[in-house]
Amino acid sequence: MRSLIDVLDLTVNEIDELIEVANDIIANPDKYSEKCKGKKLATLFYEPSTRTRLSFTAAMMELGGNVLGFSEASSSSAMKGESVADTAKMLSCYADIIAMRSPKEGAPFVAAKAASIPVINAGDGGHCHPTQTLGDLLTIKREVGRLNNLTVGFCGDLKYGRTVHSFINALSRYENIKIVLISPEELKLPNYVKYEVLDKNNMEYRETTSLEEAIPTLDVLYMTRIQQERFVDIDEYNRLKDSYILTLDKLANAKKSLAIMHPLPRVNEISVKVDEDERACYFKQALYGKYMRMALILKLLKEAEDKKKEERFSLDDVVINQYICTNPRCITSTEQELDHIFRCVDKEHNIFRCIYCEKRAN
């Protein structure tokens, strides 16, 4: 049995297989309409969501299954102080698979460790969002035609944008990918992604503050919203919120084959006039996300027939309570009884990271 916490929990071959299944679902929806008959998906959403929760719901319904759950922390026992692990154990009695979103980084991983059914990370704080990435990959495959040999620009809030972190991780495994990071100084990509994903995989990348300058070189432009809810200082948010607005003028020098993506919701980053441009892919992207979630639910439920849990990584490289995680968004900051577990991710430089939120220890 397996959960999906990080997109790297899946091999490239497995992602290819999911894409194949998703394409088959698009072509033959009837074939899949009863595949999850009698199965239940629990959606545990401790943070607002429209697309992700509803696309999980639609995905399960289109597979013939049922859905139960809640859409805000205030309507769950989290308000009474119930731990994530207890909620996950209890849910294992009611459902067959869980999709969980939390503002706490690492919460879905804690749930997966406690649950006896598969857990899918539907977004954890500013950390990662693997199912968004699966939909993003299908979008590129269908709209651009390839996942290798691409120049991909990420624009906006690269610091807190979890969709960006997961997507860059996924792209690191394809050939000849060039990355252009377009953000204000204050919202640059975190070092752990820069050094341990881009540098470690020898990926070509550059940073710029200018969207106009970057646009002509791009095959894919991934716009993102400035993540208001992750800011400690609201004045800083107000200063940065309109940093980038994609308009038709700015697209004048873009490639004809450009794919414009956005995980949505859009606040102000893309003018609605761009929606009519045939390069705009963001609404299709939301649709493709549903198909990839269908393929993923099928895969994880199939694997759950084998009850034995698969560990996400070797426990030989971890140290327990030797370091304390200082990330205020980490699940260890609220769940007092959780051990602080750090894993050696780079033996040569002796780098340890929190297994929940990936914050560096030393």
| Catalytic residue list contains 80 | yes
The residues facing 151 across adjacent strands are 178
Catalytic residue among 2, 39, 101, 162: 101
Rounded Cα distance, 32 and 26, in Å: 10
The contact pattern for ligand NCD, residues 176-215, with x = CB under 6 A and - = no contact, is ----------------------------------------
Catalytic residue among 52, 87, 131, 139: 52
Of residues 202, 203, 157, the one with CA closest to residue 183: 157
Residue placing its CB nearer to ligand NCD in the complex, 288 or 342:
288
Give the nearer residue to ligand NCD in terms of CB position, either 41 or 114: 41
Verify binding: residue 118, ligand NCD, rule CB under 6 A: no
Nearest one of 351, 314, 320 to 338, comparing CA atoms: 320
Binding residues for ligand NCD restricted to 307-346, rule: CB under 6 A: none
> Please, which of residues 217-236 interact with ligand NCD by CB under 6 A?
225
Q: Let me know: does 150 contact 258? Beta carbons within 8 Å.
A: no
DSSP state of 172: T
Q: What stretches of 103-192 adopt beta strand conformation (E)?
A: 119-124, 150-155, 177-182
Q: What 3-state DSSP class applies to 342?
A: strand
What radius of gyration do the chain's Cα atoms show? 20
Instruction: Indicate the residue among 51 and 340 with the shorter CB distance to ligand NCD.
Output: 51
Binding to ligand NCD by residue 103, rule CB under 6 A?
no
120 or 345: whose CB is closer to ligand NCD? Answer: 120
Q: Does 243 bind ligand NCD (CB under 6 A)?
A: no
CB nearer to ligand NCD: pick between 162 and 353? 162
Instruction: Check: CB of residue 131 under 8 Å from CB of residue 292.
Output: yes
Q: How many chain residues are in contact with ligand NCD, going by CB under 6 A?
A: 10
User: In terms of CB distance, is 51 or 194 closer to ligand NCD?
Assistant: 51
Sites for ligand NCD among residues 66-95 (CB under 6 A): none
Which residue among the candidates 51, 53, 104, 290 is catalytic per the annotation? 51
Return the residues of window 5-44 that contact ligand NCD according to CB under 6 A.
Answer: none
Tell me if 156 contacts ligand NCD by CB under 6 A. no
132 near ligand NCD, judged by CB under 6 A? yes
Does residue 103 come out as left (phi exceeding 0), alpha (psi in the -120 to 50 range) or beta? Answer: alpha
Query: Buried (b) or exposed (e) across 110-148, using 16+ Cβ within 10 A?
Result: bbbbbbebbbbbbbbbbbbbbbbbbbbbbbbbbbbeebe
Q: Is 101 among the residues known to form the active site?
A: yes
Q: Name the token pair of 334.
A: 């609220």
Q: Is 52 in the site for ligand NCD (CB under 6 A)?
A: yes
Per CB under 6 A, the list member of 163, 183, 243, 327 interacting with ligand NCD is 163
Least distance from ligand NCD to the Cβ atom of residue 351, Å:
26
CA gap 67, 138 in Å, rounded: 24
* 52 labelled catalytic: yes
Alpha-carbon distance of 8 to 20, in angstroms, equals 18
3-state secondary structure of 82: coil
Report the DSSP pairing between strands 204-208 and 318-320: unpaired
Question: Annotated catalytic residue: which of 2, 40, 104, 129?
Answer: 129
CB of 273 to ligand NCD, least distance (A): 21
123 is an interface residue for ligand NCD by CB under 6 A: yes
From 139, 88, 142, select the one nearest 115 (Cα to Cα). Answer: 88
| Nearer to ligand NCD (CB atom), residue 129 or residue 159 | 129
Q: What is the DSSP secondary structure assignment for residue 237, as one 8-state letter? A: H
- Annotated catalytic, 151? no
Q: Which residues bind to ligand NCD, rule: CB under 6 A?
A: 51-52, 123, 129, 132, 162-163, 225, 263-264
Residue numbers annotated as active site: 51-52, 80, 101, 129
